């Protein structure tokens, strides 16, 4: 043990440990614990346990050389696919979707882990091809390697995480050095196709989306027609956030007209946790949560900008993008800027797998910060 501690002291310096980032993550996690407890009291201890496990995992990962982890990037890729296939074959079904694996002592959602594993995989994959990132064959390889994960997650079905992973991949390719010329060409092709696909999916008997997914889009476009079913949760979420006004109705409000007490939103501790924040903590609480998440994203980007190693930059950018993208989607759904789709608010929504995976991501960023001048 003494030898191990001595080796850590030789390898790392305590002054390089990003305690500000840790403080920000703990602050948003504490908010999550209390808000989850207010939404569903029975889940508060589980959320606390998830944060404690995540914190331990973060500390352990932060002390493991990320370059050593990246040596096994192909193994991480295979493990990811095995887990996603296992979900389709042996997964637990809930609410019409098969997204969880039951290990006996715990259920976990592999698609959450997929996002972290893909950040690690592409950090090494793109580093090895950094000088030829704009080569046609490199781009084809990169796209081909992300497609199995996207397809397997989509089949669960889990459209929100499919979109999140797709956007994360785009960010990693951009940070990896993809040229603006290529990006402009892709956007010129993708944007019109996206518009055409959107028009198709809102048509009757379209083959691309499940019925409930199409209904959610239609409810977003015309909420007044679906106010008693598909648009019900989002309309109540917006009403709850607005009713909180500046400072909210108070933590753990017992008002019978509140979202949680009136059962106006199912599972408020997960996808619609932002509605609880808005109602009980008001505009001030919403802004505080958004600012904390933004500061975490900025801190991760800051660490990435200081490191000279390509894979280190990609890890930090990937974790920052993941937190930013997922936060934006979750809050946009709660405020009805996007159609209803199930995705958690990082560090806040209930979900032990999600919390632990985000903490692992922060641990990777901390390790990059500990040795930002080592790999050049």
- C-beta separation of 100 from 109 below 8 A: yes
**Bridging pattern class, strands 92-94 and 107-108:** unpaired
Q: Is the dihedral of CA 104, 273, 111, 47 positive or negative?
A: negative
For every residue of 197-245, DSSP letters joined together read: HHHHHTSTT-SSS-HHHHHHHHHHH-GGGSTTTTTHHHHHHHHHHHHTT
Quote the CA–CA distance of 207 and 215 in Å, as a whole number.
13
| End-to-end Cα separation, the chain, in angstroms | 31
Please state, for a pLDDT cut of 70, what percent of the chain lies above it: 94
Mean pLDDT of the chain: 89
DSSP run (H or E) holding 40: none
Of the pLDDT bands very low, low, confident and very high (cuts 50, 70, 90), residue 227 is confident
Q: Which of 57, 60, 108, 49 is nearest to 84 (CA)?
A: 108
Span 53-70, average pLDDT: 95
Of the pLDDT bands very low, low, confident and very high (cuts 50, 70, 90), residue 279 is very high
Any residues with CB less than 8 A from the CB of 135 and at least 6 apart, and which? 129
Residues in a beta bridge with 53? none
Return the pLDDT at 374. 62
Please state, for a pLDDT cut of 90, what percent of the chain lies above it: 59
Any residues with CB less than 8 A from the CB of 130 and at least 6 apart, and which? 176, 177, 310
Return the pLDDT at 205. 82
Return the pLDDT at 375. 53
Return the pLDDT at 108. 85
Query: Is 3's pLDDT higher than 60?
Result: no
User: Tens digit of pLDDT for each residue in 112-170?
Assistant: 999 999 999 999 999 999 889 999 999 999 999 999 999 999 998 888 899 999 999 99
Span 305-320, average pLDDT: 94
DSSP run (H or E) holding 1: none
User: Tens digit of pLDDT for each residue in 21-50?
Assistant: 999 999 999 999 999 999 888 999 999 999
Return the pLDDT at 376. 52
| Residue 151 CA: distances (Å) to CA of 48, 110, 137, 162, 243 | 33, 14, 21, 8, 40
Least confident residue range of 217-231, 237-251, 327-341? 217-231
Q: Between 327 and 180, whose confidence is greater?
A: 327
Quote the CA–CA distance of 191 and 198 in Å, as a whole number.
11
For every residue of 300-369, DSSP letters joined together read: HHHHHHH---HHHHHHHHHHHHHHHHHHHHHHHHHTTSS-----PPTTTSS-HHHHHHHHHHHHHHHHHH
Quote the CA–CA distance of 326 and 183 in Å, as a whole number.
22
Quote the CA–CA distance of 20 and 37 in Å, as a whole number.
26
Span 75-89, average pLDDT: 95
Return the pLDDT at 171. 95
- C-beta separation of 201 from 229 below 8 A: no
Of the pLDDT bands very low, low, confident and very high (cuts 50, 70, 90), residue 257 is low
């Amino acid at each position: 043990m003494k030898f191990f501690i001595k080796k850590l002291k030789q390898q790392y310096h305590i002054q390089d440990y990003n305690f500000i980032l840790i403080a920000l993550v703990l602050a948003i996690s504490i908010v999550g614990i209390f808000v989850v407890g207010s939404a569903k009291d029975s889940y508060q201890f589980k959320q606390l346990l998830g944060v404690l496990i995540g914190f331990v995992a973060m500390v352990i990962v932060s002390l493991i050389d990320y370059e050593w982890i990246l040596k096994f990037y192909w193994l991480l890729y295979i493990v990811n696919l095995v887990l996603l296939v296992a979900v389709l074959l042996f997964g637990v079904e809930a609410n019409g979707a098969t997204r969880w694996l039951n290990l006996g002592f715990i259920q976990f959602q592999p698609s959450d882990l997929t996002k972290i594993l893909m950040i690690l995989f592409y950090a090494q994959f793109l580093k090895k091809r950094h000088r030829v990132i704009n080569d046609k064959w490199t781009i084809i390889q990169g796209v081909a390697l992300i497609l199995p994960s996207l397809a397997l997650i989509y089949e669960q079905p889990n459209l929100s995480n499919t979109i999140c992973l797709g956007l994360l991949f785009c960010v990693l390719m951009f940070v990896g050095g993809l040229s603006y010329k290529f990006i402009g060409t892709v956007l010129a092709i993708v944007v019109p196709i996206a518009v055409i696909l959107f028009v198709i999916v809102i048509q009757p008997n379209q083959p691309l989306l499940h019925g409930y997914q199409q209904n959610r889009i239609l409810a977003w476009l015309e909420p007044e027609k679906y106010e008693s079913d598909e648009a019900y949760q989002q309309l109540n979420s917006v009403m709850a956030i607005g009713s909180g006004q500046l400072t909210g109705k108070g933590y753990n409000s017992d008002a019978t007209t509140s979202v949680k007490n009136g059962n106006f939103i199912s599972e408020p501790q997960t996808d619609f946790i932002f509605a609880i924040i808005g109602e009980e903590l008001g505009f001030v609480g919403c802004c505080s949560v958004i600012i904390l998440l933004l500061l975490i994203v900025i801190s991760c980007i800051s660490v990435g900008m200081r490191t000279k190693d390509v894979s280190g930059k990609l890890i930090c950018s990937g974790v920052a993008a993941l937190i930013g993208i997922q936060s934006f989607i979750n809050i946009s759904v709660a405020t009805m800027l996007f159609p209803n789709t199930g995705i958690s608010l990082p560090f806040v929504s209930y979900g032990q797998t999600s919390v632990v995976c985000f903490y692992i991501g922060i641990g990777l960023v901390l390790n990059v910060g500990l040795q930002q001048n080592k790999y050049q």
